[in-house]
Amino acid sequence: MVGIALYIVFFLTVVSIYAIIVMGLNLQWGYTGLFNAGVVGFFAIGAYGTAILSGPDNVRLIGGFELPYFIGVIGGILIAAAAGLIVALATLKLREEYLAIATFGISISIQLVALNFASLTGGANGLVGLPRPFYQFFTEPSVYSVFFLCLVLVFAAVVYVALERAVRSPWGRVLRAIREDVTAARSLGKNPTMIRLQSFVLGSAIMGLAGGLYVGFIGFVSPIDFLPILTFQIWAMLIVGGSGNNRGAVLGCLIVWGLWTASGYVISNLVPPGFQSRAGALQAMLIGSVIVLTLLFRPRGLIGEEDVISTHAGASATPALQADAAEKG
Partner 1 sequence: MSAHILQIANLTAGYQPGLPIIRDVSMHVSKGEMVTIIGPNGAGKSTLIKAVAGLLNVEDGRVELSGSDITRISTHKMADAALAYVPQTDNIFASLTVDENLKLGAQALPKATARERVEEAYEKFPDLRKFSRRKAGVLSGGQRQMLAVGRALLTHPEIVMLDEPSAGLSPKMVDDVFAQLVALVKSGVAILMVEQNAKAAMRISDRTYVLAEGRNRLDGASDALLEDPQVTQIYLGRAGRKQ
Partner 2 sequence: MPQALADGLLTGAIYALGAIGLTLTMGILRFANFAHAEMMTWGAYMALGVLTVFSLPSAPLGPLTFGWPLIGATVIAILLTIGLALLIDKLIFARLRGRVNHLTLVFASFGVALLVRNLISLIFGGEATYYTNTLQMAIRIAPGLRVMPDQVFIFCLSIVLVIAIHLFLQKTRLGLAMRAVSESPTLAEINGISLSRVVKWVWIIGGALAAIAGVLYGVSVQLRPEFGFQLLLPLFAAAIIGGVGNVVGAVLGGFFIGIVESMSVLVIPAGYKLAMPFIVMLLVLYVRPTGLFSGTSGGK
Q: How far apart are CA 43 and CA 235, in angstroms?
A: 13
Considering only 11-19, 27-35, 50-58, 311-319, which stretch makes contact with partner 1 by CB under 8 A?
Answer: 311-319
The CA-atom distances, in angstroms, between 63 and each of 109, 121, 184, 257 are 19, 8, 48, 33
95 binds, among partner 1, partner 2, none (CB under 5 to 8 A by kind): partner 2
Position 82 contacts partner 2 (CB under 8 A): no
3-state DSSP assignment of residue 107: helix
Considering only 6-14, 144-152, 198-206, 282-290, which stretch makes contact with partner 2 by CB under 8 A?
Answer: 282-290
The CA-atom distances, in angstroms, between 207 and each of 11, 40, 98, 135 are 19, 8, 20, 24
Query: Kind and range of the H or E element at 239?
Result: helix 229-241
The CA-atom distances, in angstroms, between 222 and each of 105, 216, 289 are 20, 13, 28
DSSP state of 244: T
The distance of closest approach from Cβ of residue 28 to partner 2 in the complex, given in angstroms and rounded to an integer, is 11
Among 315, 325, 326, 327, binds partner 1 (CB under 8 A): 315
Asked if residue 230 lies in contact with residue 287, where contact means CB atoms within 8 angstroms, the answer is: no
Among 120, 291, 302, 308, binds partner 2 (CB under 8 A): 291
- Binding marks (x or -) toward partner 1, 254..293, rule CB under 8 A? ----------------------------------------
With a CB cutoff of 8 Å and minimum separation 6, the contacts of 243 are 26, 29, 30, 249, 301, 305
Position 120 contacts partner 2 (CB under 8 A): no
Position 226 contacts partner 2 (CB under 8 A): no
Question: Which residues make up the interface to partner 2 (CB under 8 A)?
Answer: 33, 35, 37, 86-87, 89-91, 93-98, 100-102, 104-106, 108-109, 112-113, 115-116, 228-229, 232, 235, 239, 277-278, 280-282, 284-285, 287-292, 295-296, 299, 311-314
**What are the residues binding partner 1 (CB under 8 A)?**
311, 313, 315
